[in-house]
């Protein structure tokens, strides 16, 4: 189950020692949503899908707000059915890696895995889509990614809700996320796989940079980070962030009118001109940064 959760989130990409928060008022991952006819405030929290729940456990105010709400909302409901729903999106139906890749490319990919695990044979992954193999590359290159999922921050909020008789709601389905991450053109996936092998150091540096900004709750730097990433990957990021934000902004006002929510979604969805914070403000809500401690 933990690896399946990684499949859903690793492309979005985002445990080091905790860093001190900036004193700047807007530098918080936690935002209160009020006004516009709401009887009780709801809360929006930006997550990093690969950060351990211990990060949130240190936040006294966040824990109080989580306790006060009626329901927890995530990108999807993370339950025992996710693996079954996601599985079909990972497999190539009428193709194989040794057919999709040239002999030289196949050898390049296999040699990478063998540099980490000498007895590895790429034929073990022959039916998986290149996007899935890209995830395996990330796992082999940085085992700490798996550690971040042993008690992931997103899942921890939903587990808390279940243990405390609160509702758990998803803004989209596992099938939607599976299609988003794994149903694009196989040639594009192949290109991305080879690029990930050839730029491992750069990708790792970016991941560390993102985590550093996140743990510092530096919203300005997170905004700049995602803006730059958007400019490099416009088509994918439009669907990954912007279009999903629009769909969520259609749902959240109705849900918040019914009950108070703790909304936990990737931090990249909060920031920018088309992020949830500005989107909710445009809809007439008061969205206020709230110190987590």
Residue 47 and residue 62: Cα distance in Å, rounded?
A: 12
Which H or E element spans position 167? Answer: strand 167-170
**Half-sphere exposure of 28 toward its Cβ, with a 13 Å CA cutoff?**
21
Q: What is the pLDDT of residue 16?
A: 29
CA atoms within 13 A on the CB side of 293: 11
Asked if 169 and 40 count as a contact pair (C-beta separation under 8 A), the reply is no
* Nearest partner of 73 among 13, 174, 176, 161, judged by Cα: 161
Question: Structure tokens of 281?
Answer: 């403000």
Q: What is the pLDDT of residue 143?
A: 66
pLDDT digits (tens, 9 = 90+) for 237-289: 888 899 999 999 999 999 999 999 999 999 999 999 999 999 999 999 999 99
Q: What distance in Å separates the CA atoms of residue 69 and residue 279, rounded to the nearest whole number? A: 22
Q: C-alpha 270: how far from its chain's center?
A: 12
The confidence band for 215, taking pLDDT boundaries of 50, 70 and 90, is very high
pLDDT 10s digits, 23-62? 355 789 999 999 999 999 999 999 998 888 999 998 999 9
Residue with tokens 């931090």, as numbered in its chain:
267
Assign residue 217 a region (left: φ > 0; alpha: ψ between -120 and 50; beta: otherwise). left
- Looking up tokens 């790792």 gives 204
Residue 10 pLDDT greater than 50, yes or no: no
Other Cβ atoms less than 10 A from the Cβ of 32: the count is: 17
Amino acid 175: pLDDT: 96
| pLDDT, position 110 | 97
Q: pTM for the full model? A: 0.87
pLDDT at 22: 34
Nearest residue to 72 (alpha-carbon basis) of 37, 45, 50? 45
């Amino acid at each position: 189950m933990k690896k399946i959760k990684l499949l859903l989130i690793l492309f979005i990409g985002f445990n080091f020692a905790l860093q001190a928060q900036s004193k700047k008022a807007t530098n918080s991952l936690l935002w209160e949503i009020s006004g516009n006819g709401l009887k009780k405030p709801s809360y929006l929290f930006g997550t990093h899908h690969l950060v351990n729940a211990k990060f949130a456990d240190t936040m006294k105010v966040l824990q109080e707000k989580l306790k006060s709400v009626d329901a927890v909302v995530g990108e999807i409901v993370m339950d025992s059915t996710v693996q079954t729903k996601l599985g079909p999106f990972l497999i190539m139906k009428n193709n194989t890696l040794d057919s999709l890749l040239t002999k030289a490319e196949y050898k390049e990919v296999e040699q990478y895995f063998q540099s980490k695990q000498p007895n590895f044979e790429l034929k073990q992954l022959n039916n998986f889509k290149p996007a899935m193999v890209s995830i395996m590359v990330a796992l082999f290159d940085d085992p700490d990614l798996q550690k971040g999922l042993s008690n992931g921050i997103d899942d921890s909020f939903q587990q808390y809700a279940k243990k405390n008789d609160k509702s758990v709601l998803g803004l989209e389905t596992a099938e939607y996320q599976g299609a988003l991450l794994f149903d694009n053109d196989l040639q594009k996936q192949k290109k991305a796989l080879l690029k990930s092998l050839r730029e491992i150091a750069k990708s790792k540096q970016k991941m560390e940079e993102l985590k550093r900004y996140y743990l510092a709750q530096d919203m300005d730097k997170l905004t700049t980070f995602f803006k730059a990433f958007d400019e490099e990957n416009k088509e994918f990021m439009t669907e990954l962030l912007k279009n999903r934000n629009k769909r969520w902004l259609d749902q959240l006002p109705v849900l918040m009118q019914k009950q108070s929510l703790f909304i936990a979604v990737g931090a990249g969805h909060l920031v920018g001109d088309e992020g949830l914070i500005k989107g909710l403000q445009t809809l007439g809500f008061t969205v206020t940064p709230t110190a987590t401690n």
